[in-house]
Homo-oligomer: A and B are copies of this chain.
C-alpha cells in the first residue's frame, strides 16, 4: 500500500489544517495545498450560486473549474467538507463590504447615501451569491454540519450591520434605539425580500429597499 502519501495524510484531516510541525521547513507545501482548496472552493461557489445547493453536484463543480471531478476528493474529504470550506471562504469576502463607507463618512447624510448606494450595488451585482447564502443558511436548519459556520457568518453579518448603524447613530450624537439582533433581523429581512423581488424581475425592488432603509435608519439609529 503506497497510498500513504503526504497529501493523503492531509486529506484525512478535513476540519482544521493541522498545526505545521515546523513553519520553516515547508511553508510552500501546505500553502499550495490550501491555495488550491480555496481555488476549488471558489469554483464551487460559482456553481452553487448558479444552481443552488440542491442541484449542485461535484462533477458540475469540477466542470466549472479547470480540473476533473476526481481531484475534489484529493483536496476534500467529502462533499460536506467542500461545502463547509466554501461557506467559510464566502464569509471573508462579505462581511467587510460596508466598512470603507462607514469609516470614511463624515456625516449622517454621507453615510446614508454611501450605504444605500452600496446596498443597491450589492443586490444588483451579487444577487446570485446572496441567494446562495440564504440557501445555505436554510440548509443549516437541516444539516448540522453547516450550523457552526453559518452561525458564525450570521454573527459577522450582524456585527457588520451594527457597525453601520452605530456609526450612523454616533454621527448624530446618539446611540442605536434597538438591539443588535433586532437591527440585523430587520435589515436581513428587508434584504431577503428585496432579493426575491429582484430575482423575480421586479425592477422596483432595489429602489423600494433603498426608500425603506432611508426612512427606517434615522428612526432606529
- A residues near B (Cβ < 8 Å) are 51-55, 131, 134-135, 137-144, 147, 150-151, 154, 177-179, 181-182, 184-190, 192-193, 195-196, 199-200, 208, 212, 215-216, 219
CB pair A141–B151 under 8 Å, yes or no, is: no
CB pair B52–A182 under 8 Å, yes or no, is: no
CB pair A51–B142 under 8 Å, yes or no, is: yes
Residues of chain B with a CB closer than 8 A to A196's CB: 137, 140-141, 147, 150-151, 154
21 contacts between A and B (CB under 8 A): A52-B138, A52-B139, A52-B141, A54-B142, A131-B141, A135-B141, A147-B196, A147-B200, A151-B200, A154-B193, A177-B219, A181-B190, A182-B190, A182-B212, A184-B189, A185-B185, A185-B187, A185-B189, A186-B189, A187-B189, A189-B189
CB pair A131–B142 under 8 Å, yes or no, is: yes
When C-beta atoms are compared, the residue in chain B nearest to A134 turns out to be: B138
When C-beta atoms are compared, the residue in chain B nearest to A143 turns out to be: B52
Residues of chain B with a CB closer than 8 A to A216's CB: 178, 182
Residues of chain B with a CB closer than 8 A to A151's CB: 196, 200
- List 18 extra interface pairs beyond A150-B196, A182-B216, CB under 8 A: A51-B142, A52-B141, A54-B139, A131-B141, A137-B138, A141-B195, A141-B196, A141-B199, A151-B200, A177-B219, A179-B212, A179-B215, A181-B212, A182-B212, A184-B193, A185-B188, A185-B193, A187-B189
